[in-house]
Structures are given as structure tokens and as C-alpha cells.
Amino acid sequence: MRHLVLFIPILLSSFPAQATSLVTTNVYRLPADEVVEHELWLNAQEITVDGIVSNDFFFLGNDITINGQMHDEVWGLSNNSFYLNGECRDDLRVFAKKSLVINGPVQDDIMAMADTILIDTNAIVSGSITLKGRKIVIMGQVKGEVRASASEALTLHAEIGKNAVLDAPEILLIPGTRIGGDLMYASGAELAPVDGVHIGGQVKKTKQVDPIYEGTLRKMGFLVKVLVFGTTFFAGIVFLRVFPAFSQAGPIIIRSYRGPSMLSGGLSLIFITASIFLAMASVVGIPFSLLLAAILMLLITFGKVLVGYTIGLAVMRLQNQEIVPFLSQISALFLGTGIIFLASTVPLMIGPAISMIVNFLGAGTLLIMIKQSQTGSGVLIPTPPSAPDTGD
């Protein structure tokens, strides 16, 4: 445990230092004459920003109103409503439980989800927008693409520079609407031509909205898996070098005590995950939930390293060697981790089930070894029970 505590600052020191404010309160107001220069994380019931936030802005609250200027990205969750009457000069990514209104300029992309969404007449979006809700109304100007999916109704009275991809049982195009590219839609009814609506490209009705977009999402998902694989592999190399006792004991514990490891790992991961959500809604708020999230990611990442390393040793037939050269350790780690990530892509819920088993087993093994290290004698390498001597 002492080595693990020392290792965490080493990992954190590899990231660039950046000033961040973490604020938890009931009501937060930033006056019009004030500027926040650093990254701002907010957890409040009511948030009103009339001033300027020059860096990234993250929020969690009920009612959020932005009348000022946001010079960087905006991310957040609202349990009720979100209103942008000011200006956002970067990406805007917001989830609101009830209503979401954009009535100001956004100089990059918008990704939003809410029960009702209104892109009002004063909204000028320089990028593209992706919307999901029950009822959606788009009335502003979007220079990029529009991708909108509504479970009830979607109304369009806007100027769109590129393609529009719409999905709703009821789609209404208001005269004055202009679409620079194609209009692709999925709806129960055919879209009849409307006087005063200009579409620069083709009109296509599809059963599955924008298969090209879905293909892009699949590619992005694959790239994310490759990124996670690379992160896990390189973190594993450091782990094997810094904690040689862990790398020696881990495979033995996994082979000999799979049941207890999976049980302790599963209960721990479930408990930490539940605690993260409880902390976000409590007085301790975002700082404690971020700490728990960091612990969760460390358990999952280094637990996956142990399981992948054990699989690699088995495939390379090195599991019975007392001393494995470091280059062979790296090869085993790469092979085993690759097998895990390939298995996690298997469809029909098989892949997610494999990932869950690996996470439970790896986290439990790591926790068992940490507990052993707290005895002061280091990590104890267990000896699997031998067969009873029956005599001659």
C-alpha cells in the first residue's frame, strides 16, 4: 500500500498543472463585472452566470442560466432547466431533465439532451448540433449539420448550412426553412413539399437514420477501445516494473482464489460506483466524487493489467516460471491485454459480460494484494494447496 500511495503522485505529476475551482453551494451567481480565469466546477441547486468564464465550465445543478460569456467548453447536467442567453465560444454539451433553451451564439458544436429543446431565433451555431428529446424546436441558424431525434414531434424553422438528419413521428417544416445540403428523415408519414422551404440537396426517407453517421459512431467506439487498450498496456508496463511483487503474486492469486477475488472486486466496484452518485448529491459534492472516480479507474485499470498479464503468461506457458524476464513480461501483458479487449467486442452481451468478469476479478485481486501489503511484510505469495500424500 505504501508503494501504491507513492505511485499515485507520480501518475498525477505527468499531467500539466492547471488551476481549478471546485464549488459546492445552494445558489451560485457570477456578477456581470467578474471574470473567472481558471477551470470552474460547480455543484449548486441554482446557477446564474452573468460574467465571464475564461476556461472550461462544468456544472451539476437544478436550474442553470448563462447570460454572460463562456470562452471555453461547457459541460453539465441539470435536474430541471438550462438556459443559454449569453455566448459560448466553444463546444456546448448539456443534459437537462426538463427544458433546454439556446438563445445565443455558440461558436462550435452543440450536443444536448432534454425533454423539450428549443434552439431559439437568436441562436447562431457555427458548428453542428446533435439533439435528443421528446419535443424539439429549431428556429435559429446552424452553419454545420443538424442531427435531431424526437420521440414525439420535431419542428424546423431554421437556416441550416449543411445536411439535416431528422427522426421523429411528426416532423413539421415551417416556411422560411433553408437546408443547404440533403434532408434525411425517418418518420411515420411522408414529408410533403412545403412552399417557402428550400432544400439544396436531396430529400431521402430512411428506416434507419443516417447509416453513415452510425458507421462513424462505430469507428469512434473502436478508436476509444484502442485508446483504452494503449493506456492500459503502457500503465501495465510501469506497474510491472514498479511493483514486481504484485506482478509475481497476482497471477497466483487469480489462479488459486478466483471466487474470493471476484466477490470482493464486484462488491467493491459496485459500492464505489454507488458512492460516486451519492456524493454528487450530498454536501461533500464534486471533489469527493472525483476522488472516488479516480480510485475506481485505478482499480479497473490495474486490475485489468493483472488479469491480462495472467492470461498472457498462460498462453506463453510461462506461468510456472519463478522468474520471468521483463521483456517476456511485456510480451505477456500485450498478448493478454489484447485478448481481453478483443473479447470485449463480442456482440450479444457476451463482450460486456467478459469485461465485467475481468473488472471484478482484477479489482478483487488488487485489493487482496493491497490488504496483504498492509501487514508490513510486503505482498505474501500464496502457495496453492498441494494434493494429499496417500503414501505407498
Cα angle 28, 92, 285; round to 5: 40
The pLDDT assigned to 163 comes to 95
pLDDT of res. 216: 57
Kindly report the length of the chain: 392
User: What order do you get walking across the sheet with 52-53 strand by strand?
Assistant: 35-36, 52-53, 69-70, 87-88
C-alpha dihedral sign at 156, 114, 208, 189: negative
Q: Which residues contact 244 (CB under 8 A, 6 or more apart)?
A: none
Spell out, as residue ranges, where the chain has pLDDT lower than 70. 1-20, 207-221, 281-285, 319-322, 348, 374-392
Neighbours of 66 (CB within 10 A): 27
CA-CA distance, 64 to 66, in Å (whole number)? 7
Q: Which residues contact 338 (CB under 8 A, 6 or more apart)?
A: 229, 308
For the four alpha carbons of 222, 228, 231 and 237, in that order, the dihedral sign comes to negative
End-to-end CA separation in angstroms for the chain = 46
Q: How far is residue 319's CA from residue 22's CA, in Å, rounded to a whole number? A: 47
Pairing status of strand 99-102 against strand 52-53: unpaired
Q: Give the DSSP letter string of 97-152.
A: SSEEEE-S-BSS-EEEEEEEEEE-TT-EESS-EEEEEEEEEE-SEESS-EEEEEEE
Kindly write down the DSSP assignment for every residue of 300-343, as one continuous string: HHHHHHHHHHHHHHHHTT-TT-SS--HHHHHHHHHHHHHHHHHH
Task: Return the SS3 of 66.
Answer: strand
Closest CA to 119 of 68, 135, 276, 26: 135
Would you state the cell numbers that stand for residue 263, as one nine-digit string?
Answer: 466477490
pLDDT value for 218:
62
Using the Cα atoms of residue 264, residue 266, residue 267 and residue 271 in order, give the sign of their dihedral.
positive
- The three cell numbers locating residue 301: 485499470
Query: Which residues does 153 contact at the CB level (< 8 Å), separation at least 6?
Result: 135, 136, 168, 169, 170, 171, 172
Fill in the DSSP letter of residue 160: E
| Three-state DSSP state, 236 | helix
3-state class of 113 per DSSP? Answer: strand
Q: Could you report the per-residue pLDDT of 74-117, keeping only the tens digit for each? A: 988 898 999 999 999 999 999 998 999 999 999 999 999 999 99
Contact between 277 and 290 (Cβ < 8 Å): no
pLDDT of the residue at 350 = 84
Quote the pLDDT of residue 217.
56
Residue showing cell 459480460: 353
Which one, of 39, 37, 63, lies nearest residue 51 by Cα?
A: 37
Distance CA(256)–CA(12), nearest Å, equals: 34
CA pair distance 77, 332, nearest whole angstrom:
42
Q: Kindly list the distances between the CA atom of residue 11 and the CA atoms of 187, 213, 234, 327, in Å, as whole numbers in the listed order.
A: 50, 36, 12, 23
Q: Which of 126, 176, 170, 178 minimizes the C-alpha distance to 148?
A: 170
CA atoms within 13 A on the CB side of 33: 0
Q: What is the pLDDT of residue 16?
A: 42
